[in-house]
Amino acid sequence: MSKREENSFFQKEISRRDMLKIAGIGGAGVMISASGLPQVLTALGESSFVDDDVSAAKKVNFYGKHQSGILTKDPKHVYFVALNCTAKSKAELKQLFKVWTDQSVELMNGRLVEPYSSNTLMPPSDTGEATGLDASHLTLTFGVGPSLFEKKELRLQHMKPNVLKDLPHFPKDQLNPAYVGGDICIQACADDPQVAFHAVRNLVRTARGKVTMHWSQTGFNSYERKGKKIQTPRNLFAFKDGTGNPNVDDAKEMNQYVWVQSDESKWLSGGTYMAVRRIQMHLETWDRTALSEQEATFGRHRDSGAPLGKENEMDDMGLERKENDQPVVPVDSHVYLAKQVKDRILRRSFSYSDGIDRKTGAFDAGLLFISFQKDPRQFINIQNSFGRMDKLNEYITHRGSALFACFPGVKKGSYLGAELFG
């Protein structure tokens, strides 16, 4: 009998009174969550092991050298959440990540976080809104922010990498504190937005008492297909977003730009840094702008994604080109300024639409910008290059900002953050 089957059997066969007796071992006892016996076993120091189910439909593996959701291609929907940590000790936080590991595998297998109990007098072990849906290529990516290491009760100060700091204030930033920072983050990507939300909802539910929600953002992408080839997605300004990304299938490129190769504490080797920016896009202003001006703002043709004066999206920018003694690609265009630095990052951006700004009557819409890089300074250098010159600043406002260190992948039998929590 598998561990999953055993858990299901025990949940059906052991009454609530018996579970309370089990929880009383040691005198002080432990709290039973709505999830039932598996959480009791966890609290008593036991940990089940859940494996990837390779037979599951639309399945992405959890275990591997790197976390899922970074290399994964063409994510359609995201539910991103930044959390505040309220755990009282390193041991308590470590135990949470162990539980999250098993539950993440189950969720990515397209299952409930735990089997339902036959006892209808207790809350269900899973919130249930993804029942009947498949795995939907769900990926879950976890990271920790600089503020986590400042909590004395966790005793992790000595493990904080030198470059893990809050992102600096950039020109034109108008940040809303409600969308800044976070101790822990979870990025859930899936083909189905309900699958992504369900995953985060249940992970946060499990962590009650150890975390509180700080801020969250949903996002979406759509992909044009030409034959069998998926094209670069478009943002809400209708321009392609992500052209020139490192090739996720090229290990050399990923090692050069994305994966941390060594870290002063060693725990982040094989992981990466995640920069997150919530960017409001002023759609009404953009919609009144001539197409030629829109293209000059980005430095690319809108429909093809090609550099100005060229035909194909992947053509070389040719920034030195001139026409009538003027640069073909304007020196204040977004792409021109980005190319002034040699740094590259792996962009994973999503559009968002959060209704209407009641103060202005305009769309509250924009871009959840996410990038992965081996050193946060890669992102910082690019963002500083835009400065105040970037024409795109006329149409966007940065409202949210955060930086997280994403753990390396998990080996079978281990758990998320094992190298950090030890």
Query: What does the pLDDT look like over 341-390, one tens digit per residue?
Result: 999 999 999 999 999 988 889 999 999 999 999 999 999 999 999 998 99
For tokens 């929880």, what's the residue?
A: 23
Residue 306 scores a pLDDT above 50: yes
Residue 3: band (very low, low, confident or very high) from pLDDT cuts 50, 70, 90:
very low
Rg of the chain, C-alpha, whole Å = 23
| pLDDT (0 to 100) of residue 48 | 59
| pLDDT at 240 exceeding the cut of 80 | yes
* DSSP track, 341-376: S----EE--EEEEEEEETTTTEEEEEEEEEEEESSH
Taking 60 as the threshold, does the pLDDT of residue 44 lie above it?
no
Residue 170 clears pLDDT 90, i.e. is over it: yes
Q: What percent of the chain has pLDDT over 70?
A: 88
Give the per-residue pLDDT at 228.
84
Indicate if the pLDDT at residue 36 is higher than 60.
no
Interval 101-111 mean pLDDT: 97
Highest mean pLDDT among 29-43, 111-125, 177-191: 177-191
Distance between CA atoms of 110 and 130, rounded to whole angstroms? 8
The Cα diameter of the chain in Å comes to 86
32 or 331: which leads in pLDDT = 331
pLDDT on residue 368: 98
Report pTM.
0.89
Of the candidates 111, 121, 114, 109, which has an alpha carbon nearest to the alpha carbon of residue 68? 109
Residue 265: per-residue pLDDT: 73
Tens of pLDDT along 144-166? 999 999 999 999 999 999 999 99
Average pLDDT over residues 232-246: 94
